[in-house]
């Protein structure tokens, strides 16, 4: 699986958008970009994933550059409860069953401040 | 609630002992993954099973073993425990039949403390 590079930490003001960048310059054509977060020793929580198109769900938006070498996770209105470590992971996803596992890096520690 | 259930939530045991951690995947999921997270390490992938068979192996010690049963639940066995085995152990699942791009969902973990 391709490796990712994320900033070690970021701060964000409550109510503002949090934009978390991720570089994955060696991503392959069959690899998805996944985002997870971990709030203080809880189980990692799935946020969103995408292949090449931008994606949006109830939690966040994922913007993937056209060359797929980087992406940005956007939390539109950050709250204190969004304080967590955010992981950007690239993963081969096969159809119909057995899937590639997730290899976690160190992630970005996002601190949302009042 | 991810739908992945892990037991026990907390466990304290002595060095040299053996413990078994149990995981029930989300209904219909065929793949089970085990991860370890200790204080000074990130999330380390240990092992993956798919429909009862070992599919991928990560940094799993020889003292550790796992299996997935016909009903798809999985157990992680940790033996000859050492102080350094104290960690959070996560189980995750994915891989429903007839589906693509399957997302991995994690349980809340089992806290193991070795004293």
The 10s digit of each residue's pLDDT in B61-100 is 999 999 999 999 999 999 999 999 999 999 999 876 545 4
The closest alpha carbon to B95, from B35, B32, B2, belongs to B32
What is the Cα–Cα distance from A60 to B103, expressed in whole angstroms? 16
Residues of A in contact with B88 (CB under 8 A): 41
Interface of B with A in 71-90 (CB under 8 A): 88, 90
What is the Cα–Cα distance from A59 to A73, expressed in whole angstroms? 10
A-interface mutation test, from B44, B52, B101, most A Cβ less than 10 A away:
B101
C-alpha B3: how far from chain center:
15
For A48-76, what is the mean pLDDT?
Answer: 95
Cβ–Cβ below 8 Å for A104 and B51: no
Cβ–Cβ below 8 Å for A99 and B102: yes
Cβ–Cβ below 8 Å for A107 and B42: yes
> Chain A closest CA to B15's CA: distance in Å?
23
Q: Given a cut of 70, is residue A52 above it in pLDDT?
A: yes
Q: Given a cut of 90, is residue A92 above it in pLDDT?
A: no
Q: With contact defined as beta carbons under 8 Å apart, do B33 and A98 qualify?
A: no
Cβ–Cβ below 8 Å for A101 and B48: yes
A24 pLDDT tier (thresholds 50, 70, 90) = very high
Question: Which residues partner with A111 through β-bridges?
Answer: A11
Pick from A97, A106, A107: which is nearest to B30 by CB? Answer: A97
Cβ–Cβ below 8 Å for A93 and B31: no
Q: With contact defined as beta carbons under 8 Å apart, do A73 and A54 qualify?
A: no
What is the Cα–Cα distance from A79 to A17, expressed in whole angstroms? 9
> Chain A closest CA to B18's CA: distance in Å?
24
Average pLDDT of the residues of chain A: 91
> Chain A closest CA to B109's CA: distance in Å?
6
Span of A91-105, B35-49, B72-86 with lowest mean pLDDT: A91-105
Residue B12 forms contact with A (CB below 8 Å) = no
Question: In this predicted structure, what is the pLDDT of residue A29?
Answer: 86
Q: Given a cut of 70, is residue A2 above it in pLDDT?
A: no
Question: In this predicted structure, what is the pLDDT of residue B95?
Answer: 75
Question: In this predicted structure, what is the pLDDT of residue A97?
Answer: 46
Beta strands B10-13 and B110-114, pairing class? parallel
């Amino acid at each position: 699986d391709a490796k990712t590079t994320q900033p070690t930490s970021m701060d964000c003001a409550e109510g503002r958008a949090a934009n978390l960048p991720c570089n994955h310059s060696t991503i392959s054509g069959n690899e998805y970009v996944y985002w997870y977060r971990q709030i203080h020793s809880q189980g990692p929580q799935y946020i969103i994933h995408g292949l090449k198109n931008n994606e949006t769900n109830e939690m966040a938006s994922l913007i993937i550059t056209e060359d797929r070498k980087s992406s940005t996770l956007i939390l539109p209105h950050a709250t204190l409860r969004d304080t967590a470590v955010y992981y950007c992971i690239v993963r081969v996803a096969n159809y119909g069953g057995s899937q590639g596992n997730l290899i976690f890096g160190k992630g970005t520690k996002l601190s949302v401040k009042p | 609630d991810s739908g992945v259930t892990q037991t026990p939530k907390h466990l304290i045991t002595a060095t040299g002992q053996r413990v078994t951690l149990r995981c029930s995947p989300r209904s219909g999921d065929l793949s089970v993954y085990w991860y370890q997270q200790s204080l000074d390490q990130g999330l380390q992938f240990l092992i993956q099973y798919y429909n009862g068979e070992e599919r991928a192996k990560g940094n799993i010690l020889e003292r550790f073993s796992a299996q997935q049963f016909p009903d798809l639940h999985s157990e992680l066995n940790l033996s000859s425990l050492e102080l350094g085995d104290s960690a959070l152990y996560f189980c995750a699942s994915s891989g429903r039949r007839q589906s693509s791009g399957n997302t991995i969902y994690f349980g809340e973990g089992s806290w193991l403390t070795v004293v």
